[in-house]
């Protein structure tokens, strides 16, 4: 059981408690609301509700329950393990694989495969997401770090918060970007018109920063490298659309008309670097482009 405690500052007063907690920690609003409903969140030693607006001086205590026994089945699914030791696993996830079970995807996920491959995974993220420190979308390929114990998990999460990890992505986007480098500093939140999508917005959003570098320009497309400073849901996809260069093949944020032969967005997590949670050594890994993106680039160069 893990306990967190905060005292509300003057700047935080009148904020909804469920929203405030998602700003203080990398928790989803749905998860926070569930904890509040189950009585794991108290304000001034009393139960609260998700819509409670905090006051200056309020003492908030969140007690995260121990994870329930995992009911997700281990499955013998081949994994591309780039690195593994007693604390961490680095996996090169293929395009099309969901990271963790969710409604509609209770099998065939990276978690199902990891449970077969590893006897030990961190329990911090609970029943459905053991060991998962960060995610990449189903149709994004590339590198993910996975924690094999709670101490490693906490270290990796802290590094993500402190922005000391290195995360580079390769992407193919629509249009010709006219400059070599750029930084997109635009907050991301839920799209009011479509709750399944994210958008750049000032309302109920979180800071998001993406740096990009042009690798190669083609007739109607650009091959870019993106570096994440923050890690918001769909961040690169949302940011590139925001500046007018949506990802090729992106079914959610790209043009409706499909112009390139690829299933899902042309996005690959190519480089991952972090400080080893036990030794303190900075480790960096690189995964080659998946075959479908290699073929796309060959076609664009013709």
Average pLDDT estimate for 140-154: 93
Helix (H) or strand (E) holding 166: strand 166-174
Q: Is residue 220 part of a domain?
A: yes
Residue 43 belongs to domain spanning: 2-64
Residue 201 tokens, joined: 């917005």
Final residue belonging to a domain, choices 27, 45, 64: 64
Band (67; pLDDT cuts 50, 70, 90): low
Average pLDDT estimate for 123-152: 88
Q: How far apart are CA 186 and CA 240, in angstroms?
A: 11
Are 39 and 119 members of one domain?
Answer: no
Closest by CA to 203, choosing from 215, 217, 213, 193, is 193
Are 36 and 130 members of one domain?
Answer: no
Final residue belonging to a domain, choices 44, 64, 84: 64
Task: Specify the pLDDT at position 103.
Answer: 67
**Which residue in 18, 58, 137, 139 is the catalytic one?**
137
Q: Is residue 297 part of a domain?
A: yes
Active site residue 194: no
Are 222 and 239 members of one domain?
Answer: yes
Q: Is residue 284 part of a domain?
A: no
Average pLDDT estimate for 144-161: 92
- Mark out the alpha helices in the chain (DSSP H runs): 17-24, 29-37, 110-117, 150-162, 235-242, 291-301
Final residue belonging to a domain, choices 14, 47, 64: 64
Give the pTM. 0.76
Are 89 and 19 members of one domain?
Answer: no
Are 95 and 206 members of one domain?
Answer: no
Pick the residue with more confidence: 100 or 298?
298
- 136 CB-contact burial (10 Å; exposed 0-12 / middle 13-18 / buried 19+): buried
Are 17 and 134 members of one domain?
Answer: no
Chain centroid to CA 109: 16
Least confident range from 71-75, 126-130, 245-249, 263-267: namely 126-130
Residue 249, SS3?
coil
CATH number (domain holding residue 231)? 3.30.2350.10
Q: Is residue 288 part of a domain?
A: no
Could you give the number of structural domains in the chain? 3
């Amino acid at each position: 059981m893990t306990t967190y405690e905060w005292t509300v500052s003057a700047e935080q007063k009148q904020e909804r408690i469920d929203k405030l907690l998602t700003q203080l920690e990398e928790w989803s609003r749905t998860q926070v609301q569930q904890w509040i409903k189950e009585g794991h969140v108290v304000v001034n030693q009393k139960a609260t509700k998700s819509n409670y607006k905090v006051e200056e001086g309020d003492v908030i205590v969140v007690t995260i329950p121990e994870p329930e026994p995992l009911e997700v089945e281990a499955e013998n699914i081949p994994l591309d393990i780039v690195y593994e030791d007693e604390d961490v696993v680095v996996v090169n996830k293929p395009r099309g694989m969901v990271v963790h079970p969710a409604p509609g995807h209770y099998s065939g996920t990276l978690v199902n495969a990891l449970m077969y491959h590893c006897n030990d995974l961190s329990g911090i993220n609970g029943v459905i997401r053991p060991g998962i420190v960060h995610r990449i979308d189903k149709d994004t390929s590339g590198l993910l770090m996975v924690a094999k114990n709670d101490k490693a998990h906490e270290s990796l999460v802290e590094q993500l918060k402190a922005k000391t990890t290195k995360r580079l992505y390769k992407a193919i986007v629509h249009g010709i970007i006219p400059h070599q480098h750029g930084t997109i500093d635009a907050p991301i939140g839920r799209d009011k018109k479509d709750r399944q999508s994210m958008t750049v917005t000032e309302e109920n959003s979180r800071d998001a920063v993406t740096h990009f570098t042009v690798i190669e320009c083609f007739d109607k497309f650009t091959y870019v490298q993106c570096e994440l400073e923050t890690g918001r849901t769909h961040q690169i996809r949302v940011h590139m659309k925001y500046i007018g260069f949506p990802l090729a093949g992106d079914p959610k944020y790209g043009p409706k008309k499909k112009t390139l032969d690829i299933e899902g967005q042309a996005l690959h997590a190519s480089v991952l670097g972090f400080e080893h949670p036990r030794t303190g050594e900075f480790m960096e890994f690189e995964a080659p482009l998946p075959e479908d993106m290699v073929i796309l680039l060959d076609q664009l160069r013709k």
